[in-house]
Structure 1
Amino acid sequence: MEAARGSAPGELPVLPIDDPGIRRHYLLALPDGVTADEVDVLAVSRFPGTTWQVPPRSAGPGTTARPSPGVLRLSRHTTLTGPYGLRPGDALSLGLPATTAAVFDVTTPRERGERPYPGGDRDGLKRVFPDGMPVREEERVVLWLVSTARRLRASIRTGDAGVVLTPDPDAIIDLTVFSDVWLEPDEALRIVQRAVPRARLALDGVDWQGPAPLPDELRPPVDVLGDEERARLHAEADAYDMAALSAPDQVDGYAIVADLVMDGFVALEVGDEDTLPPILRGLPWTEHGAVAYRVRWTPPDPDELELEKPSHAHRIARGRAARRVNALAKALQSAVGGEIADADDFLVDAGDLEV
């Protein structure tokens, strides 16, 4: 497959914007430098059955081949056709950013459900679909398009609504390290404190006060036990308690919290995970699940996480916190190996994380 390298004249077939169907479809608008292969990798990350039904062909320097779009099939009902180039003025006509270098035409079923619930709208989807949110296949594709646009600093033209979304690439800074190595809490704390010195273990639980009392109508009838039966039950209970007290403590999950003062706090949540990103499923080391080291940031005002345009103060705090999150994820991967994934379940190269 010949990868798309932009939209210089002659390299890509031109998007047929005079086709009425184009304006009814979703469009994935890519900035210069993004290749078709990158779109392919992100599609496989969410839709494992993705395949090039028709590979794209570009007319690069020194070739006489006629450029033609490829057809990338995500599922039985959804395809991406492209990449296409744009003629001067096409981006403006479609409402796309002037920096758009290539476009994929996305064909997927139109499936709408209930009107959106009130509340946060970080990605702008409630604004785009006020009469009914996408469901089923369309929902899966729309969420993937948003994630992909966020990762590639791209934009989406949203089909019949004609609204253009450009997701903030820095909106979500959380990262997860998936590994087959388990770190005990004290070991993890030492690693975290190198990146965030104020970190502490958050292992304090709440004393159990016993089961909630049952209403009278639900209480079972009381049977009077004989001395012999009562002694037998007490002996079994004592033996069970002794075995439990003699066994070493088993920790199957824990958290480490670091106060960032004015920038909120960062938490590391550690535990077993059976539901892995699709691209990690079926690997030898994930056959029985993996250990997830989730690095999460909570800002001073958590409600701002769900705003499409958060405040300047939030963005400043997020930028500082992102360096801590990145440093922590890199340190953890260095200790336990495995893979780093972002909040959209796309894999991240540790070398690309700024600290």
Structure 2
Amino acid sequence: MVPALPRLDAADPNVRGRHLLALPADVAEDEVEVLAQSRFAGARWVDAAEPPTTTRSLLRPVTAVLGIRAVGADTAPSRTLRIGRRSTLTGPYRVEPTDAVALNLPPATTLAYVVEAPRERGAKPYPGGDRDGLKRAFPDGLPVLEEERVVQWLVAAARRLGGAVRTAERGVVLTPDPDSAIDLTVYSDRWLEPTETLAVVRRTQPAAMLTGPEAGWSGPMAGSGRAAADVPPGLPEAGGRGLSAALARYGVMDEAERARLSAEAAAFDQHMLTNPPLPRGYGVLVDLAVDGLLAVEVAAADDELPPLLQGLPWTAKGVVGYHVRWEPLLIEELEAERPSLEHRVARGRAAPQLQAVARSLHAAVGQEIADEAGFLVDPADL
């Protein structure tokens, strides 16, 4: 028989004075754990008596759907999940309907985690977009440092799990829309050339096109080798007599030295023409007409890799990120906590097309897909 969870007491000052992560009944503890490990590299279950600075490693595997590596212990985890040096989640607690009403939590709330985090506040928020509602919840000063990282993760986790966040002090409840973050990133160790990526995207979006000029070098500027009199002051031409004249003008008077430098410039020009450098990044665009644009941005992604993917064998030699993003006609609506009906309709039509592109890219390059928050996504769920 599964023991009953302890009840969350809405009248307890320790509950009302802390941030809460409120969740529906179908969210398991290991789901919360994996999302924590996706953002906080040292996230782990700990004993209540364990010092905050401990670095005890755990050996229990994560969920099979991720199938990545071992991250837990062979003993049963305690009920405290450490996510920062001074921050923990304790729970889950059972939330009765009366307590949900008293705390103004969504009616579907049956579970909750109590968050212990430092109170670290900065300046008052500036006017403008507030998709997550944090400016509304913290009008006197936004969280900074560790509290900022914890609060941002709580909102992202609530969005992913269909839950809500109740903030400390004012008791503002944030219920992020799960459909408000549709962008995806495919992380892989395989680099596709621009034309290859275009071909993959066109499997689901035939009107896709490359954006901007392809990376590379097309040789010296037009007019190289012109006489010195034709070279504007301060703008030496590459190679030829123009370069030689410019070198003379800047003090290289020895004819043999000027000839040597000119020959090196010509050799470099020829090398770059025959061996152009690989592009550092490029993009593919899909025009969705009244629904905006889909953009695929391809670039190195080593600096943005989710913690769960760091240190894996396939990430050791560099990772490429295939970012699949949606851009509406009114870009400012992306940061609206309650966007217009037109925006939500366009987003609803764009989402399956974006997911189809991400699936095609994943099929072509393999490895992992992550959402906007850096949480891994099973391709079968798209």
In the alignment, structure 1 residue 282 sits paired with structure 2 residue 311 = yes
User: Which of residues 10, 14, 17 in structure 2 aligns to 1:21?
Assistant: 14
CA–CA distance in 2 between the matches of 1:37 and 1:181?
Answer: 31
User: Which of residues 259, 267, 281 in structure 2 aligns to 1:253?
Assistant: 281
CA–CA distance in 2 between the matches of 1:261 and 1:180?
Answer: 33
Which letter does structure 1 place at the counterpart of 2:278?
Q
CA–CA distance in 2 between the matches of 1:170 and 1:153?
Answer: 10
Aligned counterpart, 2:130: 121
User: Which of residues 347, 354, 365 in structure 2 aligns to 1:318?
Assistant: 347
Return the TM-score normalized by structure 2: 0.81
- Work out whether residues 274 and 288 of structure 1, in 8 Å CA contact, stay in contact via their aligned partners in 2: no
- Cα deviation digits, residues 10-32 of structure 1 (max 9, x gap): 72111133321210100100012
SS of the residue aligned with 2:169?
A: helix
In the alignment, structure 1 residue 346 sits paired with structure 2 residue 375 = yes
The root-mean-square deviation of aligned C-alpha atoms, in Å, is 2.3
Aligned counterpart, 2:257: 229
In the alignment, structure 1 residue 335 sits paired with structure 2 residue 338 = no
Instruction: Give the 4+ runs in structure 1 shifted more than 3 A.
Output: 205-210
- Cα deviation digits, residues 240-265 of structure 1 (max 9, x gap): 11221121452232111110011001
Deviation at 1:205, TM superposition (A): 6.6
SS of the residue aligned with 1:194?
A: coil
Number of equivalences: 326
Return the TM-score normalized by structure 1: 0.87
CA–CA distance in 1 between the matches of 2:45 and 2:327?
Answer: 40
Q: Label 1:204 to 1:20 Cα distance change in 2 as closer, same or farther (>3 A).
A: same
Q: Label 1:87 to 1:69 Cα distance change in 2 as closer, same or farther (>3 A).
A: farther
* Identical amino acids, percent of aligned pairs: 54
Which letter does structure 1 place at the counterpart of 2:159?
R
Aligned counterpart, 1:295: 324
- Cα deviation digits, residues 270-302 of structure 1 (max 9, x gap): 122112111110000111330111101100110
User: Which of residues 24, 31, 46 in structure 2 aligns to 1:31?
Assistant: 24
Superposed, 1:66-81 pairs within 5 Å as 70-81=79-90
Aligned counterpart, 1:202: 211
Deviation at 1:224, TM superposition (A): 5.4
Deviation at 1:69, TM superposition (A): 8.1
Superposed, 1:82-93 pairs within 5 Å as 82-93=91-102
Superposed, 1:181-220 pairs within 5 Å as 181-204=190-213
Deviation at 1:188, TM superposition (A): 1.3
CA–CA distance in 2 between the matches of 1:86 and 1:118?
Answer: 35
- Cα deviation digits, residues 13-60 of structure 1 (max 9, x gap): 1113332121010010001211111111101111121111149xxxxx
Deviation at 1:239, TM superposition (A): 1.5
Aligned counterpart, 2:35: 42
Aligned counterpart, 1:64: none
Aligned counterpart, 1:137: 146
CA–CA distance in 2 between the matches of 1:202 and 1:74?
Answer: 40
SS of the residue aligned with 2:89?
A: strand
In the alignment, structure 1 residue 53 sits paired with structure 2 residue 46 = yes
SS of the residue aligned with 1:138?
A: helix
